[in-house]
Amino acid sequence: MRGGTVRFVLRRLAQLVPVVLAIAALNFVLAKLAPGDAADILAGQMGHATLEFTEQLRREFGLDLPILEQFLAYMGRTARLDLGISLIQQQPVVELIADRLPATLLLMVTALVLAIATGVALGVAAARRQGTWVDNLISVSALLVYATPAFWLGLMLIVFFSIRLDLLPSGGMMQIGVAQTAIGKVLDVARHLILPAATLGLFYAAVYARLMRASMLEVYGLDFITTARAKGLSEGTIAWTHALRNALLPVVTLAGMQVGHLLGGSVLIETVFGWPGLGRLVFDALVQRDLNLLLGILFVSSVVVVLVNLAVDLVYGLLDPRITHK
């Protein structure tokens, strides 16, 4: 990496601090808009939801303080990267998240890689055969997948691959006691990963296939493609080198923008497949009004999203030499 790029990254990281804090503030407001709090839930669960008991819990959690005071305390903690203690589970939020985040990241990254690889390959294939049955098949399939709800698709994949064919596990992340070696464990996780990653990735694959097709067709209309043909290059070389690298830029942009979306989608898919990621944790935090846990997860998610966006900017610079990071 050149010095200019290092400075660019450092400056961008510094700029991210106020952005992330602003998101944290917004999260607080949104979370507070929901009726009820952890004290209500906890008191209800314990079976003696007297007003006194609930108030006592509130005092313990600091939920009785004026909202502004709560807000300032929360922002102060967040700025120090202290995410607090889960109100319900009584464990540090950081630990709860650290337990679950790797699984979610694994699912997200696998789905994204799968989506980009499939989408780009199909988009290029369709663009090269514009107007033929191959193009039509790819375009119609992409539209169909695009319009299919992910949770339903997930259930159908389970029915087909797990129940009918008995090829892949229907849920979970690993089978206890099956794998002893490290490689065995990796393979076991990979087997469990296929269906949820496919379910999550297919929607994006469809989006990228359509975008890639359009982008390739646009690039095909540019003069330098004619130059490449006039040089005697094969259509394959033209598509996969000259056109592809130019056509990838919009896909990279969209992929970067959709990382937040993808994180949200993985929460849903995790529920369908019993994947031990952040999804279940978010769900519980929401239902139980576990303010600290919920805000902690949202904070970590926002950090992930802004970091990925920074990475996308760097990839942009790699793809297009006209973009320099200063």
Partner 1 sequence: MSAVLEVADLAVRFRTTRGTVNAVDGLSFAIGEGETVALVGESGSGKSTAALAMLRLIADPPGRIASGRILFEGRDILGLREEELREVRGGRIAMIFQDPMMALNPVYTIERQIGEVLALHAGMGREARAKEVVELLRLVGVPAPAERARQYPHNLSGGMRQRVMVAMALACKPKLLIADEPTTALDVTVQAQVLDLIQSLKDRFGMAVLLITHDLGVVAETAHRVIVMYAGRKVEEGTTAQIFKDPRHPYTKGLLEAAKWEEVEGAMLREIPGAVPSPFDMPKGCAFSPRCGAVQPRCRESAPPLAEVAPGRPVACFVAQEGRP
The verdict on 242 binding partner 1 (CB under 8 A) reads yes
Q: What is the x/- site pattern for partner 1, positions 174-213, by CB under 8 A?
A: ----------------------------------------
The verdict on 322 binding partner 1 (CB under 8 A) reads yes
Rounded to a whole number of angstroms, the minimum distance from the CB of residue 243 to partner 1 is 9
The verdict on 313 binding partner 1 (CB under 8 A) reads no
The verdict on 229 binding partner 1 (CB under 8 A) reads yes
Single residue of 10, 117, 143, 222 touching partner 1 by CB under 8 A: 222
Q: Which amino acid is at 115?
A: A
The verdict on 231 binding partner 1 (CB under 8 A) reads yes
Q: Which stretch binds partner 1 (CB under 8 A): 81-89, 181-189, 191-199, 234-242?
A: 234-242
Q: How far is it, in rounded angstroms, from Cα 114 to Cα 319?
A: 20
Place of tokens 């130059």: 227
Single residue of 27, 78, 246, 301 touching partner 1 by CB under 8 A: 246
The verdict on 314 binding partner 1 (CB under 8 A) reads no
Residues 128-147 that bind partner 1 (CB under 8 A): 131
Show the CA angle centred on residue 141, arms to residues 136 and 147, nearest 5°: 130
The verdict on 319 binding partner 1 (CB under 8 A) reads yes
Show the CA angle centred on residue 118, arms to residues 116 and 121, nearest 5°: 100
Q: Which stretch binds partner 1 (CB under 8 A): 107-115, 154-162, 204-212, 317-325?
A: 317-325
The verdict on 232 binding partner 1 (CB under 8 A) reads yes
The count of residues interacting with partner 1 (CB under 8 A) is: 21
The verdict on 217 binding partner 1 (CB under 8 A) reads no
The verdict on 321 binding partner 1 (CB under 8 A) reads yes
Rounded to a whole number of angstroms, the minimum distance from the CB of residue 130 to partner 1 is 9
Single residue of 155, 214, 320, 325 touching partner 1 by CB under 8 A: 320
Residues 42-71 that bind partner 1 (CB under 8 A): none
Q: Contact positions toward partner 1, by CB under 8 A?
A: 131, 222-224, 226-234, 241-242, 245-246, 319-322
